[in-house]
Structure 1
């Protein structure tokens, strides 16, 4: 089916050939023939809503129901499957059938004034005329003018002749011109705020040191709009926006659900982002959060990494510690046949303590950024209880106003029953010269040095170094 983008220019040739009177018609979700949701990670979604509309020859005004109440009007695009259909105008109408608007319409008109006897509970209804709402309620009741009288106002009917102007629901109004009477398939494509998705991962760490990584997507519909039987697509990566409205808070008592699936198509790279076509048809209720299985990667080699960041230094007190090591889990996003870029999200790590039996335990969680295939995932899981270190300054000598030498000894203790490699990470001023060291260091950056210390089981290992700083 070939769809044409409808613009005001496309309707110019039709304007002279069509009558001025417009036929008005509601286009509800019952006319829907397809729905696609493309959800981004910054509170944005792209909606493509296809509906059949019976058009008359000439001007047609359609009230489109069931679109997002946070639709961005400037993003709206209307497509048609038919030739000779042109877009004349579009507007968003607010819901104005509310007590304030009704009372404004009734100023100067007859209303009903209802009071309740506090002793008996009996209600009395008297005719009145609404004089003013400015600064309070002013009523004319049985020849007297009452200011803010106790009681309430009732209406016998909606005010005339503006009955059509008051709407119980807001929505999109689209005016089209059609060269002839026909049914046409229209597609309404628009951006909306109020939707989001985030990646959640479960990392199962096996005793052999491998990780099984399961990715889920948590969808959030913060709108009052229901999206039924929608084809779901997800975009991983940031898109530029001129302004970002803060997403509304989730309603209390929001619905939550889970949708499982066997496979998800590999993402398609679009510029600097990835598009996941989930292959799922989902329904999102207003305020609902729904979780969808995205993919699973198995048998990923991983390593535990123990480190002390900042313990190696040039100055400070004569002794620091004992302090516990940082525990990290490190693995690469594998480049293989089932390769997947990892969208930014939260990874929760569970560890099986026994190969034969027992439930895995939760060992920590950490956030990751967008990680390409082959990229490293580094998860900080807190402090290691059995690995500690103490730093002592062994020497300090000032060589002048702009130079000094400093020496340090760091003793690492391993209370585990197996030997460990521990990284000692230090940040030093640019131009620092290591004069002596008991173990070779690795220069990671101009200001970051790392020593890797092998600590025996139930034992200790010591690093010593002396450095010179010349400013």
Structure 2
């Protein structure tokens, strides 16, 4: 008997699966003009040819992105007036289907309470689908899990793909070129940089790429592409459905032609030559610019917020590995640099290139200073001890510091030690030269010799702070 019941289940399950097809993405938009912003939003302009009758008509467009912002749609054509716009998309999912069967009868496959290995098919009324389905089975309310649901029919208002409907009024029957414009999510871009340094670590070649990701679920074929770099103000859009990203494969760049760059408002606009195919779930890279010889400077730095506290034990400080350069033609650059990820490579002794660190880069205009943090130094260590703490008044103290630096490398290392203070402060005594980069910082620029015996190089100073 149990075998018969299980056989029935296996025969029914394929029928259940057929009622829950996977929503298919839009087949693709052809020949559109795309303007993609850093923020993950894109402006789409496209033209579709439709024959319209004289007078009122409804025009239904398919191949519409599911991430379209319905409030942003614009449509126009010569001899045509638009009186209404409707965007419809109720995807076929378990929740949307069950929501439409609340109060209606359906069939459910349930565990057999008399046999743990068997299943039973029962008629049930769906009472609620809020947080999970609740059924009325006979005279009992069922709150447990069901193995499957069998719906007698597919609800009329669910769709496998979104549609856009225009209510139009036309002066005459004619073939119209309807211009559509709308904003959508799921298209974004960012810059990726590769800086390959030479053996000295003071110069190298930089390649800048625009990485475009399409997670909208909609393909764009033969699109004309513009990229806007900058933080354009935008407001969140509720219920903007974002399709789940697929596994992404980076595609090759488009030839040797670089995008044309120009200023746009207070932002920068890149126009990519030719046309681009952006398949759904893909990532594509386009070359922005190449700088064959960029001058950089390396720096080790360690920053400490001193405060006005008395310390009874020493403090170990991390030492950051930094790379600095200025975005000017004199240092081999002079191009707008959109925000993105900078990867730095350096040659090993056998000539192979290794990743020396990566850091996020903010939007940097021409003349801007770039400071990259590539990690923590392995061989250079800093440890400080408070040698004096005297309270001079209710809100005034004098503190003495001894900062020890160990350099485990074979050559001297440049190191910037920075201590941060708030309030009014002045250095009473110091055994090394120092600077005040700003009102709240004290800096020592050191050239630390090797310390093979493990004995630190010390910096001593005393400061008086009024807060």
Identify the match of residue 463 of structure 1 among 453, 459, 464.
Answer: 459
Aligned to 2:302: 308
Matched, 1:358 2:351: yes
3-state SS, counterpart of residue 374 of structure 2: strand
Deviation at 1:46, TM superposition (A): 0.5
> Which sections of structure 2, spanning at least 5 residues, go unmatched?
1-25, 109-122, 129-133, 143-147
Aligned to 1:402: 395
Which moved further from structure 2: 262-271 or 43-52?
A: 262-271
Confirm or deny: 8 A CA contact 2:65 2:162 kept in the other structure.
no
Pairs aligned (count):
415
Confirm or deny: 8 A CA contact 2:41 2:187 kept in the other structure.
yes
3-state SS, counterpart of residue 74 of structure 1: helix
Confirm or deny: 8 A CA contact 1:59 1:177 kept in the other structure.
yes
Aligned to 2:249: 256
The separation in 2 between residues aligned to 1:101 and 1:415, in whole angstroms, is 67
TM-score normalised according to structure 2 size: 0.76
The separation in 2 between residues aligned to 1:458 and 1:64, in whole angstroms, is 74
TM-score normalised according to structure 1 size: 0.75
Per the alignment, do residues 361 and 176 of structure 1 end up closer, same or farther by CA in structure 2, a change over 3 Å counting?
Answer: same
Confirm or deny: 8 A CA contact 2:36 2:189 kept in the other structure.
yes
3-state SS, counterpart of residue 310 of structure 1: strand
Aligned to 2:12: none
Deviation at 1:386, TM superposition (A): 1.9
Aligned to 1:293: 287
The separation in 2 between residues aligned to 1:455 and 1:352, in whole angstroms, is 24
Matched, 1:175 2:167: yes
Per the alignment, do residues 55 and 438 of structure 1 end up closer, same or farther by CA in structure 2, a change over 3 Å counting?
Answer: same
Identify the match of residue 314 of structure 2 among 305, 316, 320.
Answer: 320
Aligned to 2:31: 34
Identify the match of residue 262 of structure 2 among 240, 263, 268.
Answer: 268
The separation in 1 between residues aligned to 2:83 and 2:197, in whole angstroms, is 60
- CA-to-partner distance for each residue in 1:421-447, whole Å, 9 max, x for gaps? 210100012210112222332222211
Identify the match of residue 335 of structure 2 among 322, 334, 340.
Answer: 340
Deviation at 1:457, TM superposition (A): 4.1
Deviation at 1:29, TM superposition (A): 7.9
Per the alignment, do residues 171 and 464 of structure 1 end up closer, same or farther by CA in structure 2, a change over 3 Å counting?
Answer: same
Deviation at 1:343, TM superposition (A): 1.3
Confirm or deny: 8 A CA contact 1:303 1:329 kept in the other structure.
yes
Structure with max Cα Rg: 1
3-state SS, counterpart of residue 314 of structure 2: strand
Deviation at 1:230, TM superposition (A): 0.9
The separation in 2 between residues aligned to 1:419 and 1:439, in whole angstroms, is 17
Aligned counterparts, 1:40-439, within 5 A: 40-80=37-77, 82=78, 84-95=79-90, 152=150, 168-208=160-200, 209-243=202-236, 251=244, 253-261=246-254, 262-310=256-304, 316-317=310-311, 320=314, 323-335=317-329, 339-354=334-349, 357-439=350-432
The separation in 2 between residues aligned to 1:420 and 1:71, in whole angstroms, is 55
Per the alignment, do residues 212 and 245 of structure 1 end up closer, same or farther by CA in structure 2, a change over 3 Å counting?
Answer: farther
Deviation at 1:452, TM superposition (A): 0.5
Deviation at 1:176, TM superposition (A): 2.0
The separation in 2 between residues aligned to 1:238 and 1:152, in whole angstroms, is 49
Confirm or deny: 8 A CA contact 1:258 1:292 kept in the other structure.
no
Deviation at 1:340, TM superposition (A): 2.0
The separation in 1 between residues aligned to 2:149 and 2:425, in whole angstroms, is 83
Per the alignment, do residues 96 and 307 of structure 1 end up closer, same or farther by CA in structure 2, a change over 3 Å counting?
Answer: closer
- CA-to-partner distance for each residue in 1:353-412, whole Å, 9 max, x for gaps? 34xx52111111111211111211111111112222332333333323332222222232
3-state SS, counterpart of residue 364 of structure 1: strand
> Which sections of structure 1, spanning at least 5 residues, go unmatched?
1-27, 114-129, 140-146
Per the alignment, do residues 268 and 246 of structure 1 end up closer, same or farther by CA in structure 2, a change over 3 Å counting?
Answer: farther
Confirm or deny: 8 A CA contact 1:230 1:283 kept in the other structure.
yes
The separation in 2 between residues aligned to 1:204 and 1:245, in whole angstroms, is 43
Which moved further from structure 2: 452-461 or 177-186?
A: 452-461
Confirm or deny: 8 A CA contact 1:454 1:461 kept in the other structure.
no
